[in-house]
Structure 1
Amino acid sequence: MWTYKRVIFYTTSIFICVVVISFSYYVEIRYPKMRSHGLPIATDTITALDRRKFIISPYYEPRLGQSVRVIAILHVSVKELYCIFHCSSNQNVFVRAEIDLHSDRFGFPYGTADLLCSEPSGCHYTYISFSSTVTTNTSQRLLFEVRNRPPQPISSNFTVCISTLFGNYSNVLQVIQSIEMYKILGASRVTIYKTNCSQDVDKVLHHYIDEGTLEVVPWPIDHHLQTTTEWRYSEGLNAEIGYFGQTAALNDCLYRNMYKSKFVLLNDIDEIILPVKDWDWSSLMENLQNKHPDTSVFCIENHVFPNSVTISGFDLWSHVPGVNILRHSFREPIDWKFFNGRKMIVNPRDVFQTSIHSALKHNRNWVNLEPGMAITFHCRYKMRNITSEGLIPDDILRRYNMSLVPNVDKVIQRLFPQL
């Protein structure tokens, strides 16, 4: 016969079991274990080993023998680091990393670095970890899965790498227009590194994730280092790394897509690499490869279309925050006294290191494209103090109106219907 106390006892026992099982499931999902080693697997994009060393991700590197290349952010003082290969035989093999701090640190104390570690012979592994010294103590260490191992067949022609969205980025309309233009031009995939953005931009990003067009990589660099929008360090600047770790994000994106995409485009969200003679990137690259058969890095001249100078027409989507790039058809003339930050289309399998405006280490040749082949359409505030009369009319983007306008309108009607 059931008594009140027995009912309370069994109810309490069932409740405790449910809580324990649920907690165990949460721990297993949030902190997965490698059964053979029992160490947690790193899940964050940026993982601090300590205050001077940050791991982004390890990638298999078959171009330099059998080795692993680790994209990292390091303090300039770091001179020694070890990769620990966790072999399937339960053996841990320590390999001293060759540290290659990229040459474009721009004076900041932290910069993008490659850690190159040769595979130990006879070691079958999936994960590695890291140590500052040769030691057998592996407690409290995180495992990092080595990506691109083995390399997979190419699945797309063009991927756009964009870094980074920060400062609560809120230019909703230009984000939609840019991504729709990338799709028209031939992008199968867009990868965006996000530090933070507005709720409306986040809504747009989730739409393209659900569509299968977009991969958003969390980039919480500001949780680890003092950062800045300045690209070069100057005395008194309270920052440890430049421009939200942009070069580290670009290098990670390059390797993330190395064996997925035939070509990778490296540019910002307010930039679109536009063919001039051709209609899309496929026809452009076919012509360029015929003209430059031994070239793997194509640098495209930057042309600023000031968003402060507006033309009539295309007064659409006024209820959506952001810049309407269709209303900006005047560009600044090139002044060769000033640096022109070109953006790139690259064959990722021929590139070892990239910066923002050039590839630092690569196989084969590179070429600066003449503006008659392609330009970087850069819709932003004025770069120089030029009067409206000094700007050059250029309606290159309007060639795509018939496709761009209805595509953008479809997204806006779904996400931001006018009340």
Structure 2
Amino acid sequence: MWTSSRHTLCTLSVFMSLAVIFYTYNVEIRQKMRSQVRHVATDTITALDNRTFIIAPYYEPRLGQSVRVIAILHVSVEELYCIFHCSSSEKVYIRAEIDLHSDRFGFPYGTADLLCAEPSGCNYTYMSFSSTNSTNTSQDLLFEVRNRPPPPISSNFTVCLSTLYGNYNNVLQVIQSIEMYKILGSSRITVYNTNCSQDVNKVLRHYVDEGILDMVPWPIDRHLQTSKNWMHYKGLPTEIGYFGQTAALNDCLYRNMYKSKFVLLLDIDEILLPVKDRDWSSMMESLQKTHPNTSVFRFGSHVFPTAIRNSGLDMWSHVPGVNILTHLLRRPNKNFTAPKMIVNPRDVFQTSIHHTLKYRRNAMILGQDTTMLFHCKHLKNVSDLIADDRIMRYNVSLVPNVDKVIHRLFPPPP
């Protein structure tokens, strides 16, 4: 009896010892794995510190094998490092070449590119960033390098729209603009949304579900004091101009660089109307034949003031916003004012709002006999207006398309 009990106690003791060892080993393994876990950035704008904000890294094969990181930086930033996370678990620190864009407009923060050469022998998917090359710095947040490898082109035209802000509520004009982009040939639209009304958000979600719209959150106002002014002046407390518009446009350019044959850089209240052609495909085919070495096409804005209505197509009165079909008088465009662009994105390195900063091949200005930028907006000076009903060429398609969306999202009251 005693021998049997002693044997049982020994067996239990061995079992308990093995259990403790197994438990301790698993705890150590879990702790080690937890220490190796890296969280992948999901926000559009990520603060590295209060002077450096990372938007996204993009593979840059045009300058050798390198990575271009779209960022927003304070002018005082002089040193940053790209950290490549190799599949071998090695981390390689590469000092970034900082290229602060020239169009900061006097604000202390501006759009910047961080250029980092790929380290040889490093198979990577993710990278992180640091203000120091110290290997003791904890880098937990990873960024996936996009466009690596470059995807095949899947769209002819993508429209990049500037930031929506200030609880933007121009519902009707948003619908009309997007439907016009579709009629003219766009199969993709990318919009950066800081703040809009519930009704505009409802419209954007509709087009996201339709598959034509990418809505990118743009919470710039959580990080910096934003300004509605494009130019900084003494005493202005804001830190970055026009809600970081140039950073959003550059990110949109790189998002669509290898997805779209052409990219248009516009505001939501602007529509590029061909003059001689019916749509953008016919227009660009003609332009490429006559200007084969041109990558950037610029066109001047023609403002149609919303203060005056002169059309009978006044419908959808229950929907908030501007009805562009009721404003067919434009201000004379004596100068080449507020131009916008259509570009071959693979030939552009940096863009501003009204012109490209760095690009390959040629840029040209399109005359009024080729294109017209229809810009329907509020304007104080409404004298000496010229009748111009070119937008009405599209009303046979535009009106039923808009009507269909409105009846679905905002059915008229009984």
**Is residue 45–residue 56 contact of structure 1 (8 Å, CA) maintained in 2?**
yes
What does 1:274-285 correspond to in 2, within 5 Å?
274-285=273-284
Q: Distance in 1 between matches of 2:352 and 2:56?
A: 18
SS at match of 1:316: coil
Q: Alpha-carbon deviation of 1:35?
A: 9.1
Please report how far the alpha carbon of residue 177 of structure 1 lies from its aligned counterpart in structure 2 after TM superposition: 0.1
Q: Distance in 2 between matches of 1:118 and 1:110?
A: 25
Q: Does 1:385 align with 2:404?
A: no
Contact 2:159–2:189 (8 Å) recurs in 1: yes
**How far 1:141 moved relative to its partner?**
2.7
Does 2:128 correspond to 1:129?
yes
Cα 1:165/1:303, change in 2 over 3 Å: same
Which of residues 369, 373, 376 is equivalent to 2:373?
A: 376
Which of 378, 385, 409 is 1:415 aligned to?
409
1:67 maps to 66
Please tell me whether residue 40 in structure 1 is matched to residue 34 in structure 2.
no
* Pick aligned residue for 1:357 from 354, 357, 360: 354
The structure that has the greater radius of gyration is 2
What secondary structure is seen at the aligned counterpart in 1 of 2:141? coil
Retained in 1: the 8 A contact 2:160–2:265?
yes
Aligned with 2:397 (options 403, 407, 411):
403
TM-score by length of 2: 0.91
* Pairs aligned (count): 381
- Contact persistence 2:48–2:54 (CA under 8 A): yes
For the 8 Å contact 1:37–1:90, the answer to whether it is kept is: no
Counterpart code for 1:217: V
The separation in 2 between residues aligned to 1:35 and 1:190, in whole angstroms, is 40
Give, in whole Å, the separation in 2 of the partners of 1:68 and 1:308: 48
Match of 2:337 in 1: 340
* Cα distance in 2, alignment partners of residues 49 and 117 from structure 1: 17
Q: 1-side partners of 2:393 and 2:129: how far apart?
A: 52
Structure 1 residues 246-269: Cα deviation after superposition (integer angstroms, max 9, x where no partner): 000000000000000000000000
Paired AA for residue 393 in structure 2? R
- Report 1:195-214 matches (<5 A): 195-214=194-213
Q: Is the 8 A contact 1:36 1:90 kept in 2?
A: no
Unmatched segments (≥5 aa) in structure 2: 1-32
Contact 2:303-2:331 at 8 Å conserved across structures: yes
Partners of 2:257 and 2:382 in 1: how far apart? 41
| Unaligned stretches of 5+ residues in structure 1 | 1-33
1:304 equivalent in structure 2: 303
- The letter for the 2-side match of 1:120 is P
Identity %: 73
1:1-35 CA distance string (max 9 Å, x none)? xxxxxxxxxxxxxxxxxxxxxxxxxxxxxxxxx99
CA contact (8 A) 2:311 2:327 kept: no
What amino acid maps onto 2:111 in structure 1? Answer: T
2:21 maps to what in 1? none
Q: Which residue of 2 aligns with 1:7?
A: none
Shift of 1:375: 1.2
Cα shift readout 1:98-155 (whole Å, capped 9, x = no counterpart): 0000000000000000000000000000000001111112525310000000001100
Once the two structures are TM-superposed, the CA of residue 334 in structure 1 deviates from its matched residue by: 1.5
2:288 and 2:353 map into 1 onto residues whose CA distance is 23
1:143 partner SS: strand
C-alpha separation in 1, matches of 2:103 and 2:135: 35
Q: Classify the secondary structure of the residue corresponding to 2:40.
A: coil
How far residue 37 of structure 1 moved from its aligned partner, in angstroms, is 4.4
2-structure distance, mates of 1:49, 1:304: 41
Structure-2 separation of matches of 1:236 and 1:253: 32
Q: Is the 8 A contact 1:36 1:88 kept in 2?
A: no
**Contact residue 173 and residue 321 of structure 1 kept, 8 A:** yes
CA deviation profile, 1:270-327 (whole Å, cap 9, x unmatched)? 0001101100000000010011110000001110000111013111100000000001
